[in-house]
Chains A and B, each alone.
Chain A
Amino acid sequence: MSELRRAWLITRKDLRLEFRTGGRLLSMIAFVVLAGFLFAFALDHNLVPGRDVAAALIWLVILFASTAGAGRIFDAEEEEGAFRHLLLTPVSRPAVFLGKTMANLIVIWLVTALTFISLTAFLDVRDQGSLTAHAAVLLPGTIGLAATGTFFGRMSRHSSLGDTLLPVLTFPLLVPVIYLGATSTARVLLERPWTEISGSVRLLWAFAVGSVFIGAALFRHLTDE
């Protein structure tokens, strides 16, 4: 059995636990909907059209929700000490990282879809541009968020500061994702030509691939004593 297959087993197990427990996903969904609701009241729509700020707010909400969720990625593993037993199986550390990242990514995708729907509705953004183009921007961006969140979610477990440490570690690293993602999404909302966006998307892919490979390579330092 390949390591990819084992990674998928971990993903499937994590998703099954996620949907049975529901706590992490529900709290992320609640955050997303409430954030959209509050933004609708916080903005003076006569002075600032929702479309002008939607891209930035979408990416910030995805960032905050995914960071809040990242702190709980390893909850089920720690509850009864299952992670110790998982690490004693012949599965490689990169496969464990990949499996956890994929599960985190799927949850982030659900949250991202809801964020997009919620914010465009609350901010009254009627012309949303091409959904395919939005997906092409959001896909690499969320992969970067998922890989970074999984890695630092594990690291924060080892710190006495716990989840408090997570945003301190991740936010500076994620500045490129937020900048490239928000500016690209803004252009898609304004229906600008793809040539204006493709360069940023390529950089988002570079960040995504880099964070997955670096996370997988370094993950053993967070698991092996």
Chain B
Amino acid sequence: MTLVGRGLVCSYGPTRALDGVDIVAGGGEIVAVVGPNGAGKTTLLRALSGERRPDRGDVLLDGSPVSGADPGWRGRVGLVSHRTGLYRKLTVAENLTFFAALHRISDARHAVARSLETVGVATLAKTRVEALSRGQAQRVALARSLLHDPGILFLDEPFTGLDPAAAAALESTLRARRAAGGVIILVTHELRRCLGLADRVVVLQRGHKVYDGETGSADAADLLRFFTATSSDAS
């Protein structure tokens, strides 16, 4: 399975958030997208996931164009963002059961239990989301994104506000998904973390891709210096 973004252009009014960005992510691979604020990271993720239709360019899965307008495509992707996307007044189980039903999962109760077990929060099933800590809520959000066993997982700053234990649990889950052959695209501004987790890193700056390479071969120190320089430049 290979996800390709080709020549993606997205604008917000006169501001061009993405300017002809190409990206490739294969199965069993974690691709980290990093860059300073306003680089276009989240816009790239939204274009790839189908949340936003690019002004120009295509998103292809195994060579075939995909679009957010296609319910079949939406059923194959999972999303975790820095906002949990959970209903605070519902319990964890009610939240997940609702999303499982919308994903047409036949045995929703079993899927919810399995998903909560996977991220280590099965004991919280009957707790209202408003009573959860930030780390717990983020794990539940991850469980929600895994409910329908998506082949492609998008993560938008998922480590924001997580304590070290919760961040380690999230990393562990992502490694397991990678081992299972999933495509994982991780948007973050935490370069150090992504160098330890991702297989490849893509650096964006002002809507342009300025670096794309394997983290194993990347000179982390150079990349860090580059990132720091672009951040300073942007600010």
Contact = CB atoms under 8 A, between A and B. Distances in A.
Given A6-B102, A13-B98, A88 B87 contact: no
Contacts of A84: 51, 79, 81, 83, 85
A84 B51 CA distance: 8
Contacts of B144: 85
Interface stretch (A16-24, A27-35, A62-70, A201-209): A16-24
Interface centre among B72, B98, B129 (most CB of A within 10 A): B98
Contacts of A13: 87, 90, 94, 98
B102 A9 contact: yes
Contacts of A85: 79, 85, 99, 144
Contacts, number: 79
How many interface residues does chain A have, given as a range? 20 to 34
Interface in B94-151: 94, 98-99, 101-104, 129, 144
B187 interface: no
A90 B101 CA distance: 10
A127 interface: no
How many interface residues does chain B have, given as a range? 20 to 34
Interface stretch (A73-81, A138-146, A185-193): A73-81
A6 B74 CA distance: 15
A217 interface: no
B88 A79 contact: yes
A76 B68 CA distance: 23
5 contacts: A6-B101, A6-B102, A20-B90, A80-B87, A89-B74
